Every structure is written in structure tokens, then in C-alpha cells.
Structure 1
């Protein structure tokens, strides 16, 4: 087979930018096509009236994985993308009046409405959690997740950890922590999955271990600085980024991807194509039906999707009294399925972020940014999201926040699943594409059955999150160059 000299990439999120940067570094001509007016996809930000809002991703976890991605494309991450650790990650208030606050490292403070917590016992439980799970985290982030998916590698290197991956997060937290309020706060960290603790696989506990070891971070200037920094590697080596350029179709001839049909440009020929949109869109929409492999079409049509999201973002003129980045008013762990009940009658369980606690520069001087995701009906028809429906949910969210903080609102920004679909090209508005319950071997493959067509992004291994999606781009580019 002739060597690949040119590659067309669909999508300018972190996976596409990482793949493009590595390919360009190896002398391959890269053209990247982004439908929106800016790069970043789910890791972009939007400035409205001086307030910087996240379009998708809220923070960075696993910074070592991102460091590796940057090194692969020839960038020194600390130099081009300085990070600020979130030293006050979360405060949780329980119905009984207990308050649990996570600080930096293993610092956990429990304020009991009645009685006191056994601090020595809690410290031991935290250390026991880290002793049990941190070796698995290191194995995954330093070896398993940064290499192509391999059952033999997992078995050879991770067999000692496999027994504890059985069960659920609820099972594991009951095993680890004796205090009900502490368990509720711990499980609250993992509700971003869109699943209650009893439906999350036990391995999701690694999200907690990440918080207490590596920590969560924000790039200075906001999440949009991640794709901005990654794009430097692609552009510096002659790669091209085309904004406001929508791809209509992947062109296949004689069983091989030969390029793209692009709005306003017609046929763009390339030796290979990388699609960063979800596998559901690649095999369900971007390929002619006759060209889409039957197995991939079945995967796309039967995909177990993640939850869709509704976001409310407020720019405040005032500085709110918020001690932590994330604030949760939660029931006990056993009842946290209630957090996902639609807020038609008001927001009962209030969960929101205040990124200006860590990065005040995201708002004008003296101001604040609040971001929250009130629960909505998951089977609500996506095209029925009207302005009136959005305004009704916004009003309920603001009412709930106003019970906790004084709100001098300067800017409001609301996004329904319809906007997430239309603006970020998320299939049916599903924020992660595939559900966190989907096993890695059921993700879409990097090397597709169509020669010259590669798939990357959060519906491929190693899954969702900024660091993982960017790593997927690197693995895909390496697979392409090895072909």
C-alpha cells in the first residue's frame, strides 16, 4: 500500500487537534474541517458580556495524560498551557444539616449538625481507599489507557485489580466509608456520569481517587485554552484548520476512503480520513448507506447513549459567597437517583459550579460565574425544545439558586439538548456520546472496516473526558501511521 501523505480530519475538538498535530509532526499534510466558528468542540468556551462560559467540559482531570498528549505533538504543556489546581473542589450539604467539604489532597472536613465525626477513622478510611485504588489508577493512566486496547495487556498487567472492578460504586463506597454523610458526598462527586451510584460500575470510583491524588484543574483563562494550545502544533507544521466548514459526506471509492465532500468546496481528496464526530454520526449519517459496514451501522443504531444535558449559566455582577468550586445539596447516597428527577415542579436538589472561585478572571472584576445542569425529562423529544420551555426551566433554576445566594444577574445563557446537538454536533444531545456503562471493547474502533477511514473521539477508546479524548486522537494517528 502506498504511504499516506495527506489526511482530512472531521472536527476540531481535542481529539482531532491531537491527531492532526501528531500527523503533521511526522510530515503528513493535514486539513482539519470544523463546522463551527471556533475550534474546541466540547472543550471550547464562549465569552458573553465579559463572562467566560464553558461550552462543555468543566475541568481537567488526569493532567498527566494531557501532558503526554502535548509531548507527543511536540509541545511542553506547562509552558503553553499553565493549569491552576482546584484546591477547594466541593462542598456538600445533606438534608440532616451535615456539611462535607473536600479540600486539597486528602483534606476532608465534616461539620455535623448533631454529634461529631470520628476524624481518625475517616482519615484511615481515606488512606485505605487510596491504598486500594491508586495503584489501579496509575496502571490505567500510565499504561493501559495510553496504549491501544489490548485484552492481553489488561490481563498481564492488571489481573490483580480485576476482582475489585466488579459491583457498583454504591457497593464500593459502603465498603470504604462508615459515615452516611461522607458516603453521600463521595458519591456526589461521581454524579457527572448521569447515573446514580447503584448503576455506576465500581471502576468509576477512580474518579474520586483522581480528585484526591492528582486533583482537578482549570487552565488559566478557561477550558478553551486547551484546544487553542493544541492547535499550535498543527499550525506550526503547515496543517490547515478550516472553520465554518461543514462536512457533508465521507467519500468512499473502491472500498477505501478517498476524501470528503465539503460545503462550499466540493470534493477534498485525501489519502485517509479521520472522523472525530461520534461513531453514531460517522456510520449513520456521513457515509452513504451502501458504504457503511453493516456491523458499524448496527453499533450506531443500537448504541447505549449517555444522558443529554440542559445547562444554565449565569454571569453575576456580584461575588457570591461560595467556598468551593462545586456546591451540592444532596440526599443520602441510597436516594441519589432523585437528583435526576425532572425539575418540572422546581429544582429540589441543587448542584452547581462556581468556576470563578478558582479563576476570578472568568468574570469582570467583582463578578461571578455560575454553571448548573438542572435535570430534565430524558425522553423529551429533542426538536420540541422551545424558547418557552427553556425559559421555564431557567426560572426554576434561578429560583433555587436565589434561595442560597444573592444574584445580581448581568448575563444568562441557556442550552438545551437541542443546542448541544446543533452547536456541538452531539448525537441526540448525548453529552458523552456513549453511556459510561458501555465497556471499552464496545466502543467504536479506531481502525474501521473501511480502508483509510479512522474513528476517534469520545465514542472510541479510552472514552470521554478531555485527557482521554485527546489520547484517543494520538492512538488513532499512531494506528494510521502504522498501517
Structure 2
């Protein structure tokens, strides 16, 4: 008889794990607490507008290709990709921005214009970043974080110094222009920590940015979730929504089942892609691996205040992805990581998918997504949300020389309280646990429970870390561990 597996949650890592485990021959049932699948990557559809609620950047296309290739498929079997040009633009002041185009040659030209001599330095920097990418993404991140020895290879020994320096130091050693520095430090924000706390080795994110480029799946990132659902169902995975988990049943240190909507479902294997901290609260205390003090001492990636806005006209002077770095990055970072509080003058990001994708908004209108990174665990009220919407809209209007406030048809917001309510997210974090030197690889929470036989974890709080491509990889890693410890 086939072994039954329950997977909790339906984000990228859970769906990926479900595909691998079904392919390996297990009976897989995936239980999702919300009424739609996708976890943080759900969709908001309103008045003819469509928004990705969570991730909006499609980076590292090779990771998606490798995933689908494991099932003799390719991304184009499910969705069509467009490489964005420009990839994004970065505002530093009124009508003052740098545009990052779709090839390293074009980006080098933009750098040279900004700082003579910088294009040569940029090419050397990206060459190193590519070398790191080849080691990390093609090899290291596909290790399960079980042993420190996973990090010890001939290639990594040669780069040992890069684990003890940091991105901020490396970038500023080569580049003096503050605007270029900010652009080069930006990609590591996806890893959830300050550039000064992120090991140099993670410069591979710069190669993902400048070397591989930024893509957009037609109809949005949710198409990737639908592709995973399609693949999972074709492999026999059963997906149930509106199925929250109240308890994981343990007897004699072994999984015996879960309770969902008051009903017991028997199983000897549970894989949780839900928030790691929350999942452990579904266990009796004796079976939890990590204490409350453990979690409270960890560096968490930011939370976010997000707005999904329908405009009754097209927005000018912006690209699909537009960053607003017209205020002091270090001061905002301090408000996130050092003395957590609402930032007085926040950096923010805006995405206008309807610039690329006609499906995102009715004709002549614009869909706008705005994001302010915040410290997790802050007070979150409607009044604060309104105040910050007004704050960034006023700046947006001034920086891009246009009026947009009076063209808002509607806006929906999503912040710390929603991350907690919808995803049981620890302190309402948006991106999981940061990839700092002490929270990398084997130093992250484990994929396999040390205390309970048959209990596994996947997703952004474990290995490899935050982001969509790492979540797909995490699903593969946990599936490999399950098959190793619970062979059919």
C-alpha cells in the first residue's frame, strides 16, 4: 500500500514538494487554510484589475527550468515569459533616475555615464558574481542543510574569504558613486538582511540581476502557482482549500495524523510548508525543537506594507518595476533591523504590471502595487496605513512630476496583521528568515524534525532561504529527505 503524506500549505515550496513526492510514488494530500492556493503568492482580482499579492519579481529562470525539467516539462508548457526591458528604474530625486536595461553591456554604459571607469569594475564584479552563482545555484543550494561539510568543496575553499567579508564592504571598495552603490546593494534585500550583514558570497544575486535579467510571466506570477497546481494534480496530488490544521498528532515521538476542521486525518508523514514557528505550536511543547527565545533572537527578513491600487489613467515616467531610493537607505534599514519602528522617510518600491501585461488592468487604466519594507512585529493600524499611503503618494507625485492621487479608483492594503492572519507568519514577517552569516545553510532551522519521526518542514524559514527560486529548491530538498527516511 502506498504511504500517505499530508502537506500543510500551498505556497511554492509545498507545491514543489507535493510534485516530487507524488512522482516518487506517495499518496499526497495538500491542505491549505485559505480559500485559494498559492500562500504568499496569491492573487487579488477586483473591478477588472489583477494584482499579484506577493512576489512580483521573476529572477533566476534557470531554477524554474530545472524544476520543470525534473518532470520532463518546461515552463513554456504552462506559461509564457517576457524578459523586461528595462528591467527596472531607480529614482534618486525629482525626474532623476537610472534605468537598468536588459543586458550587461547596456547596464555597463549606464554605469560609465554615471561614474567614468566604473563599467570595467562592474564587469569584473559581475564576473565574480557569476562564478559564485555557478557554485551556489547549481550546487550548494541543493544541499539539505544537514552538515557544515556541505559547504566545503574545492570551489568554496577558494572563496572562503567571501564568507567573512560582506556585500557592503565589497561594493564600496570598488564603487564610490553613492547611486551605483545603492543599485548594487539592492538585490541582497531579497535575502532579507542589510548589505553589511550579508556575506560577500551572496553577490551571486547581482549576477541574477544584471547577468540573467528580470522576467514577467504573462498574466502575472500567479501563473507559476497555477502551473505547479496543474503539474501536481497531473501527478495525482489531492489539493484541499479551507482546510486549516488545528493540531499535529504525535504518539511515542512519531507522527500519527493531523486534525483539520475538527476531523482527524491519519498519516505517518507530515511536511509543513506553513510558517515554521507556527507549525511547532501545533505540537505539544515537548516535541518542539526551537524555543520562543530561539525565534526572538533570530534576524528576520522584513515585513511589508503593501498597497494594491487601481488608477483610472495610465501612469507616466515609470517602468514595470520602479524603486524609490530618494531617501537615506541606512536610516530606513536601521528602522527595520536595529531599532524596529515605523520609518520616518521610507524607501519604497512600485510595480505597474499593466505596463507590460494588458491582462492586469482595463484599457486606459493602470494597476499599481506599492511596497514599503518594515520591521516585523510593529503595531499595524488603519491610521498608520493611511498615513504612509499619503506619504509615499506625495513623494511619488513630486518625483515623477504627475498627479495620481485623484486618479485612484480603489486601493487595498496588506500589512503585518494580514501576514499573521493569512499565513500565521511569525511577527508578520513577509520573507522569512534573513540569510546572514549565522543563518546560512546548516545554521538555519532543519528540514527534518530532530524530535518527531515523520515530521518535515519546507519553505523560507529553512534551507535555502527567502525568495521564490529558493522555495522551489526547498520543496525538492525536503522531498529527497522524506524519500530517504521513509522509502516506499
Q: Normalising by structure 1, report the TM-score.
A: 0.89
Where 2:158 maps in the other structure, the secondary structure is coil
Where 2:7 maps in the other structure, the secondary structure is strand
1:344 offset after TM fit, Å? Answer: 6.8
Pick one of 122, 143, 148 that aligns with 1:151: 148
Alignment partner, residue 324 of structure 2: 329
Task: Work out whether residues 50 and 363 of structure 1, in 8 Å CA contact, stay in contact via their aligned partners in 2.
Answer: yes
**Structure 1 377/211 Cα, relative in aligned 2: closer, same or farther at 3 Å?**
closer
1:468 partnered with 2:470: yes
1:371-450 map, 5 Å: 371-374=369-372, 376=374, 380-381=378-379, 385-403=380-398, 404=400, 405-407=402-404, 408-437=407-436, 438-449=439-450, 450=452
Where 1:471 maps in the other structure, the secondary structure is helix
Root mean square deviation, CA, Å: 2.7
Where 2:286 maps in the other structure, the secondary structure is coil
1:189 offset after TM fit, Å? Answer: 4.2
1:227-238 map, 5 Å: 227-238=225-236
Separation (CA, whole Å) in 1 of partners of 2:48 and 2:249: 42
Separation (CA, whole Å) in 2 of partners of 1:33 and 1:70: 22
1:122 offset after TM fit, Å? Answer: 2.7
Q: Greater shift after overlay, 33-42 or 22-31?
A: 22-31
Q: Greater shift after overlay, 387-396 or 438-447?
A: 387-396
1:214 offset after TM fit, Å? Answer: 1.4
Separation (CA, whole Å) in 2 of partners of 1:316 and 1:208: 33
Where 1:152 maps in the other structure, the secondary structure is helix
1:339 partnered with 2:332: yes
1:28 partnered with 2:23: no
1:415 offset after TM fit, Å? Answer: 0.9
1:126 partnered with 2:125: no
Separation (CA, whole Å) in 2 of partners of 1:15 and 1:345: 32
Separation (CA, whole Å) in 2 of partners of 1:97 and 1:401: 11
Task: Work out whether residues 56 and 220 of structure 2, in 8 Å CA contact, stay in contact via their aligned partners in 1.
Answer: no
Separation (CA, whole Å) in 1 of partners of 2:411 and 2:199: 36
Where 1:142 maps in the other structure, the secondary structure is coil
**Structure 1 26/161 Cα, relative in aligned 2: closer, same or farther at 3 Å?**
same
1:378 offset after TM fit, Å? Answer: 5.2
Task: Work out whether residues 348 and 373 of structure 2, in 8 Å CA contact, stay in contact via their aligned partners in 1.
Answer: no
1:195 offset after TM fit, Å? Answer: 4.2
Pick one of 364, 367, 374 that aligns with 2:365: 367
**Structure 1 331/172 Cα, relative in aligned 2: closer, same or farther at 3 Å?**
farther
Where 1:159 maps in the other structure, the secondary structure is helix
Alignment partner, residue 139 of structure 1: 135
Q: For 1:76-95, what per-residue CA distance to the aligned partner results, in whole angstroms no more than 9, with x for missing partners? A: 22211322222212222335
Alignment partner, residue 258 of structure 1: 256
1:481 offset after TM fit, Å? Answer: 0.8
Separation (CA, whole Å) in 2 of partners of 1:482 and 1:196: 36
Task: Work out whether residues 276 and 461 of structure 2, in 8 Å CA contact, stay in contact via their aligned partners in 1.
Answer: yes
Separation (CA, whole Å) in 2 of partners of 1:353 and 1:338: 23
Alignment partner, residue 217 of structure 1: 215
1:193 offset after TM fit, Å? Answer: 4.8
Separation (CA, whole Å) in 1 of partners of 2:285 and 2:441: 26
The gaps in structure 1 that reach 5 residues or longer are none
Where 2:257 maps in the other structure, the secondary structure is strand
Where 1:37 maps in the other structure, the secondary structure is coil
1:443 offset after TM fit, Å? Answer: 1.4
1:51 offset after TM fit, Å? Answer: 1.5
The gaps in structure 2 that reach 5 residues or longer are none
Separation (CA, whole Å) in 2 of partners of 1:134 and 1:163: 17
Separation (CA, whole Å) in 2 of partners of 1:344 and 1:479: 41
1:233 offset after TM fit, Å? Answer: 2.2
1:452 offset after TM fit, Å? Answer: 0.5
1:153 offset after TM fit, Å? Answer: 4.0
Q: For 1:307-336, what per-residue CA distance to the aligned partner results, in whole angstroms no more than 9, with x for missing partners? A: 22111221212111234333233258xx42
1:15 offset after TM fit, Å? Answer: 0.8
Q: Normalising by structure 2, report the TM-score.
A: 0.88
Where 1:464 maps in the other structure, the secondary structure is coil
Separation (CA, whole Å) in 1 of partners of 2:2 and 2:144: 21
1:370 offset after TM fit, Å? Answer: 1.9
**Structure 1 446/118 Cα, relative in aligned 2: closer, same or farther at 3 Å?**
closer
1:187 offset after TM fit, Å? Answer: 2.2
Separation (CA, whole Å) in 2 of partners of 1:467 and 1:188: 18
Q: Greater shift after overlay, 39-48 or 9-18?
A: 39-48
Separation (CA, whole Å) in 2 of partners of 1:345 and 1:454: 37
Task: Work out whether residues 326 and 352 of structure 1, in 8 Å CA contact, stay in contact via their aligned partners in 2.
Answer: yes
Q: Greater shift after overlay, 177-186 or 27-36?
A: 177-186
Task: Work out whether residues 302 and 373 of structure 2, in 8 Å CA contact, stay in contact via their aligned partners in 1.
Answer: no
1:428 offset after TM fit, Å? Answer: 1.5
